Chain A
Amino acid sequence: MVVDALFWLLALTAVASGFAVFRVSSMARATFALAVSFVAVGAVMLLLDLDYLGLITVLMMVMEMSIMAVFMIMYMMNPGGLMPMSMYHNKAGAMTVAVGSFVVLAAGALLVPWPEREGVAPADITLQLGEGIMGSKMLVMLTISPVLFATIVGSLVLAAPRGRYDRFGDDLDQPASDPVPGGLGR
């Protein structure tokens, strides 16, 4: 079966490139390995007929990883991967925890008697999702929107070098002594 062969190919790609993230010698390469893993997972979703979710996973994660690559290069000491990179702590312990939890999870996946499939997929799967989030699952969307807005505000506050109160304290009317002059009336 073509679908089975494709599934195995994509699954092995996803796992192998996922592992490569922590094995390659540069963070920029690690970012692109993670992007490959996400694209493979998005393609697995396409195999499950989840056209919309598979596509937005691929598109979003490729964009996200491109942005991440910029941050990686900003924060790493060795962007080009010219020297082997080894930045681990407690490698043996981490490997033990990871292998142990994989054994438990995989045993659960294989041994639990999962329920039989209930009902059939509708003709338009994307329509099902759209009607879900605008109908019976609207609370999910109502929660996601303020969370995303809070993320915008929170990340700006955290990442800004200084705010207006760092400059003046509570008295915002004093003359400004900005390193670079600018702004209204200054």
Chain B
Amino acid sequence: MSLELLLVLASALFCIGIYGALSQQSIVMVMMGLELMLNGVLVAGAAFWAYVSPSRPDGQVLVLVVITAMTVEMAMGFAVVTAIFRARDADLTDQAADLSG
């Protein structure tokens, strides 16, 4: 286990998340892609704390912030899905493309 290996793991998780967020049609599956991207950020934050500056709490606090971001993303994401499903029976991203330029 080394900083480089942990960062490669983080990049792998992040990029699988990108793939999911870009390729999925269902809005909830897009949210799972975003969660997976943040999962990679968790690994990177923990790795930087352990291998670069374990004497300072910065890395740990960053991990805490990312965990909070995941929670907020889940709650708001499901609220938006509920609202849009209620308004027009849409649960696919292609049915909610109003803002697409």
- Which A residues are within 8 Å of any B CB, using their own CB? 3-4, 7, 11, 14-15, 18-19, 21-22, 27, 30-31, 34, 37-38, 41, 44-45, 47-50, 53, 56-57, 60-61, 64, 67-68, 71-72, 75-76, 87-91, 93-95, 97-99, 101-102, 105-106, 108-110, 114-115, 117-122, 125, 128-129, 131-133, 136-137, 140, 144, 147-148, 151-152, 154-159, 161
Contacts and interface: CB of A to CB of B under 8 A. Distances in A.
Contacts, number: 233
B96 interface: no
A26 to B, nearest CB: 11
Interface residues on B, range: 35 or more
Contacts of A22: 16, 19-20, 23-24, 29, 32-33
B57 A14 contact: no
A27 B20 CA distance: 13
Interface of B: 1, 3-20, 22-26, 28-29, 32-33, 35-36, 39, 42-43, 46-47, 49-58, 60-61, 63-65, 67-68, 70-72, 74-76, 78-83, 85-86, 91-94
